[in-house]
Amino acid sequence: MGAVVKYVIAGLVRYWLIHTDFWHTLSNRVEIATPLNSWKRLIEGVYLYDQNINPYEGDAFHESPIVLVIFHYLLKHVPYSLPFIFSAMDLLTAYLLYKTSRGFVRIFLNCQEKYLSDVSQESKDMVMTESQLKETSEYVLSVYLFNPYSILNCVGMTTTVLQNMLLAAALCGAAHGYVIISCAFLAFATHQALYPVLLIVPTAMILAEVNKGCNKCSYIKTLLAFVLSWSFVVYISAFIMDGSYNYVYNTYGFILTVPDLKPNIGLFWYFFTEMFEHFRLLFVCAFQINALILYIVPLTLRFKKEPILLVTVLLALSTVFRSYPCVGDVGFYMAFIPMWKHLFTFMQQKFIVACAFIITSALGPTVWHLWIYSGSANANFFFGVTLSFATAQIFLITDLLFAYIKREYTLKNGSSRTIDGKPAKLVLR
């Protein structure tokens, strides 16, 4: 199937589903819409802003002021083109991911060439060729375009569609060595959802690799560009709100303190519903440290030679542990999994993970209906499904990391196993 045909089919599917009778139902599903990205809340915020009422004074709107102004203009001047705009943004995201993966292939080949001398003679056939790696870009494109999670996210017209486009643009800029472009888009994505701030570390590593500047000055330059871009975006948002920074509490503060406990596919809502209020601050800090800080240093130190793998893992971990995740976040990082198809032979839980994704994706809406509409289930049932869904994602991440380590060991030491010069064998007693 040609690339143009893929874009056309994927675009038509999205555009058609937005115009079906199921659109309203999909746009309000807890798996798709959250208090942060909901189309319904965005409409309410735009209406309040149009009436000269500060949308951040209540508890309904939590998007950034820049997004508020953008959609205020679109809803006022071109409301009927919004389905097309959302479909186009999602297709643009797919294209940017395709270009990103092409850039990542070049980085991977350069990194592989550096350590080619360390590969054992027995494992030479495991070295990836350029043709093998380039075909992964087609898989990345197809996985994003036809992933049900990505399609539902677009059909629900959530602002995660915009966030995914910004992240794809930032990674694409990094893969091609554009420091300012990459940092600017990453700052915008961070301003919208906060958790993309994790990607500044692998982004700096990728830019240093592409621009052949693996030194402290290169990293400082990237960090400075990101901080300045983020500061500029924050200032523009304050300017939109007539110089007030009060919106920060209803954007960043809302993400960090998790006051809205409406169920979603994440882990926060159930824990904070069940716990005693005087323990709330402790657990908020523990959960947010886990999502924002805990993994960045050890993973960076261990996979400093593989910034692309670091991007994939950090995207996945931030999706699992963020306060208000949705299927659009899952669909975005899953598009990078085909980049690691050379690790699939070393992965041991592919079938289990695939079955878990399918089963939990089907059980989620079922259990929600039993809980909310039939009254024959309760919150424990739905949380059990979301917990299983998160566990499946963790299994996918750990299996991918272990597969990389196994392949790395095999490349250096070969695949044969000997003890005292004799073939090793496993004996069960």
The predicted-structure confidence for 22-58, as pLDDT tens digits, reads as follows 888 888 999 999 999 999 999 999 999 999 999 998 8
Q: Helix (H, G, I), strand (E, B), or coil: what is residue 122? A: helix
Is residue 417 very low, low, confident or very high in pLDDT (cuts 50, 70, 90)? low
Q: Per-residue pLDDT tens for 148-178?
A: 999 999 999 999 999 999 999 999 999 999 9
Of 140-149, 194-203, 316-325, 370-379, the one with minimum mean pLDDT is 370-379
> Side-chain half-sphere of 16: how many Cα atoms within 13 Å?
6
Question: Furthest-apart CA pair in the chain: how many Å?
Answer: 81
How high is the pLDDT of residue 222? 92
Distance CA 419, CA 409 (A): 17
What tokens were used for 101? 């993966």
Of 37-41, 106-110, 378-382, the one with minimum mean pLDDT is 106-110
What tokens were used for 281? 């601050």
Distance CA 26, CA 19 (A): 12
Is residue 109 very low, low, confident or very high in pLDDT (cuts 50, 70, 90)? confident
Judge whether 266 and 325 are in contact, CB under 8 Å: yes
pLDDT at 20 over 50: yes
Is residue 118 very low, low, confident or very high in pLDDT (cuts 50, 70, 90)? confident
How high is the pLDDT of residue 217? 81
Q: 416 - beta bridge partners?
A: none
Of 17-31, 119-133, 367-381, the one with minimum mean pLDDT is 119-133
Judge whether 193 and 67 are in contact, CB under 8 Å: no
How high is the pLDDT of residue 422? 66
Is residue 116 very low, low, confident or very high in pLDDT (cuts 50, 70, 90)? confident
pLDDT at 122 over 90: no
What tokens were used for 375? 């009254």
Q: 419 - beta bridge partners?
A: 422
Q: Is the pTM of this model over 0.75?
A: yes
What tokens were used for 372? 């909310």
How high is the pLDDT of residue 368? 94
Is residue 429 very low, low, confident or very high in pLDDT (cuts 50, 70, 90)? low
- In 369-388, which positions are buried (b, 16+ CB within 10 angstroms) versus exposed (e)? ebbeeeeebeeeebbebbbb
Distance CA 219, CA 223 (A): 6
DSSP class per residue in 209-275: HHTT--SHHHHHHHHHHHHHHHHHHHHHHHHHTTT--THHHHHHHHHHH-------SSSHHHHHHHS
pLDDT at 428 over 50: no
Q: 423 - beta bridge partners?
A: 418
Share of the chain above pLDDT 70, in %: 96
Angle between helices 148-155 and 327-334 (to 10 degrees): 140
DSSP class per residue in 280-332: HHHHHHHHHHHHHTTTHHHHHHHTTT-HHHHHHHHHHHHHHHSSS--HHHHHH
What tokens were used for 332? 């975005």
Closest CA to 387 of 411, 405, 367: 367
Residue 262 phi/psi, 5° resolution? -60, 135
DSSP 419: E
How high is the pLDDT of residue 60? 87
Q: Per-residue pLDDT tens for 199-239?
A: 999 999 999 988 876 667 888 999 999 999 999 999 999 99
Type of residue at 173:
G
Domain range list for the chain: 3-411
What tokens were used for 146? 């036809």
Q: 422 - beta bridge partners?
A: 419
Q: Per-residue pLDDT tens for 245-291?
A: 989 999 999 999 999 999 999 999 998 988 888 889 999 999 999 99
> Side-chain half-sphere of 145: how many Cα atoms within 13 Å?
26
Overall average pLDDT of the 125-145 stretch:
85
- In 183-193, which positions are buried (b, 16+ CB within 10 angstroms) versus exposed (e)? bbbbbbbbbbb
pLDDT at 377 over 70: yes
